Amino acid sequence: MLRSREYTFNKQLGKFSRFYRGCVMSRKIVNSVAATAIAASALVSFVYSSSVHAAAGQIVKAHDSDNDGTLDLAEVKKAATAKFERVNTDKDGTLDVQEAKAVGIKLKALKAADPDNDGTLDLNEFLSVVEARFKAADPDKDTTVSAAELKTKAGKALAATM
Ligand SMILES: [Ca+2]
Ligand SMILES: [Ca+2]
Ligand SMILES: [Ca+2]
Ligand SMILES: [Ca+2]
């Protein structure tokens, strides 16, 4: 009787220790999965940030009509007008809430930029947003936006409109 109880106890202990080892093992797996995920997301953000850096130079190059190495407001507005046409997918002459999202203008910003309160942005309303973003992206106030300025948070908001 006693022996068999002891046997049962040992069997349970064995089960428990196997269970415990299993836990330790799976925790190791979880840790290594987490480490891999962190490494992967670091890699993604590295690739993303370097593509943003490369992109800033390319955006300037693509729209720098007078080839002075920077974007002035006229160059930005020309690019933004072309972008307006591209994101105005239903070709009704205005950006609705969905279309405005494609140029980084969310509902609250759309309402603020919509003085005629029709719930959409026409080209002029959109270009007012672009002009405000241009000013915000030009902290040295030399009336042009350089590739370096395009890499800032305000610069990225401007780049979204081009
Ligand atoms: Ca220029
Ligand atoms: Ca539209
Ligand atoms: Ca409007
Ligand atoms: Ca500047």
Q: What is the pLDDT of residues 55-72, one digit of tens each?
A: 999 999 999 999 999 999
Ligand nearest to the CA of 117: 3
Ligand nearest to the CA of 95: 2
Asked whether the predicted pLDDT for residue 5 surpasses 50, the reply is yes
Q: What is the pLDDT of residues 109-148, one digit of tens each?
A: 999 999 999 999 999 999 999 999 999 999 999 999 999 9
Instruction: Read off the pTM.
Output: 0.69
Ligand nearest to the CA of 113: 3
Q: What is the pLDDT of residues 150-160, one digit of tens each?
A: 999 999 999 99
Cα–Cα distance for residue pair 68/80, rounded to 1 Å = 19
Do 131 and 73 touch, CB atoms closer than 8 A?
yes
Do 53 and 151 touch, CB atoms closer than 8 A?
yes
Gap from CA of 84 to ligand 2 centroid (Å): 9
Amino acid letter, 55: A
Q: What is the pLDDT of residues 13-59, one digit of tens each?
A: 556 556 556 545 555 544 555 555 545 555 444 444 555 566 999 99
- Residue spans of the domains in the chain: they are 1-162
Return the CATH number of the domain spanning residue range 1-162.
1.10.238.10
